[in-house]
Amino acid sequence: MDLQWSADEEAFRAEVRDFLAANLDPDLQRAGRLSTSVYPDHHASMRWQEALRRQGWAAPHWAPEHGGTGWTTAQHYIWATERQLAGAPALSPMGISMVAYVIMKFGTPEQQAFFLPRILSGEVFFCQGYSEPGAGSDLASLQTAAVEDGDDLIVNGQKVWTTHAGEANWIFALVRTSKEGRPQAGITFLLIDMATPGVEVQPFTMISGEQVQNSVFFTDVRVPKANVMGEIDRGWSVAKYLLEFERGGSAYAPAMKARCDQIAAWARETTGDDGRPLADDVVFAAKLARLRAKADVLEITELRLLSANEGASVGALSSMMKVMGTELAGEVTELTMEVAGPRGLVFQPHAAMPGGPVPGYDAPDDGHVSGDDRHALAALRYMNERAGPIYAGSNEIQRNILAKMVLGL
């Protein structure tokens, strides 16, 4: 693997920078800068997706015949790095970065023709219905049931931790269609229109104050069998395929390296207890150097895995990327809190543009922030990143997968 950028790749970097400069207006930059998790302000994210769609860059990893770019691994990595440096808001991953790959691999021509163009345009916006109150990392124990009735399946049950269910008009869900055999058997991967009678969304508030997560209840929800991905009772392999993209389908390192740079710049402006810049404190400098080294290791690992599996998922090694990426993200927020100091402990969600509303909190009329935006965002990002080692299958589960599938233990 050659780690030096070629002349063509540097020319591509210049093209990317020109596009970002022309299309990232101040409102979009503000949404990116003030986001508190992987889920940005919904309206800003959709507006940015439309700009990318017009350029043909909304889903660069997709196959070209479906609207992808055909970029090389190097181009993908340059794009990920430059958009992070430019402060672009993220796109919701549920459709473009997750279920779209399932539709490409397991969907019928009719399903592909309907969903893929609409995911690109934003007309179809998906949320994920995997976890249940009694089935999180142990996903095979899910109990939401679907019973066959002619050409339909009738669904009853509950999903939880469903991000952006209030904004979504479709949900991809795992439902139990049989209780025979192993727990992994008898599960079906189903696409459900959220406007179907019997679907109810109830938001709940996270520790950061945001209402991004929801419970989704299904009461006698009638879904056409034409919305099944793959085959009835054989959805477990479909679900595992999607999780490879959720856990390791994109690069963590560009964001982590950018955040380390931001911490370093902020520490140069922040005075420690001895009256000197915090950046000059040897203990703090050692902590930051450790994070930078981890980010460099993560970058090399991602480049090796993505280049070796160009155009495909990275399989079980996605678990390694998920563990490394989410744990490093948590460490970065911890060091950010150290720079923020006491002001970082003040709850000020009005300074942010999170992925959902913050009910019950009235911001000051003048929008005043204790310290500046960085102080307010430090705590909010810290609280959001606590979920990283848990979502998409806990990191303990990921280590078990690596032990079994990679190490043969």
pLDDT digits (tens, 9 = 90+) for 39-73: 889 999 999 999 999 999 999 999 999 999 999 88
Query: Measuring CA to CA, which residue among 178, 189, 193 is closest to residue 223?
Result: 193
pLDDT digits (tens, 9 = 90+) for 277-336: 999 999 999 999 999 999 999 988 887 776 665 545 566 777 888 889 899 999 999 999
Q: Which two tokens stand for residue 236?
A: 């477990």
Beta bridge partners of 189: 174, 229
Q: Which amino acid appears at position 43 of this protein?
A: H
- From the candidates 167, 244, 246, 299, which is the catalytic residue? 246
- Measure the CA–CA gap between 156 and 146, rounded to whole angstroms: 7
Reported pTM: 0.86
Q: What is the set of domains in the chain, with CATH numbers? A: 7-91 (no CATH), 124-235 (2.40.110.10), 250-312+314-406 (1.20.140.10)
Q: Which residue has the tokens 């795992």?
A: 174
Average pLDDT taken over every residue of the chain:
89
Euclidean distance between CA atoms 381 and 373, whole angstroms: 12
Q: Which residue has the tokens 């063509």?
A: 8
pLDDT at 362 over 80: no
Pair 37, 377: CB distance under 8 Å:
no
pLDDT at 240: 84
Give 369-407 pLDDT, tens digit per residue.
777 889 989 999 999 898 888 877 788 888 988 888 888
Tell me if residue 246 is catalytic. yes
Q: How far is CA 29 from the centre of its chain?
A: 19
Q: How open is the CA angle 96-119-88, to the nearest 5 degrees?
A: 50
Residue 1 CB burial class (10 angstroms; 0-12, 13-18, ≥19): exposed
* Comparison of pLDDT for 331 and 77, the residue scoring more: 331
pLDDT of residue 315: 66
Between the CA of residue 47 and those of 126, 248, 318, what are the distances in Å?
16, 26, 30
| CB neighbour class for 325 (10 Å; exposed up to 12, middle 13-18, buried from 19) | buried
Local confidence band at 359 (pLDDT 50, 70, 90 cut-offs): confident
The pLDDT of residue 366 is 58
Least confident of 104-118, 179-193, 227-241, 242-256: 242-256
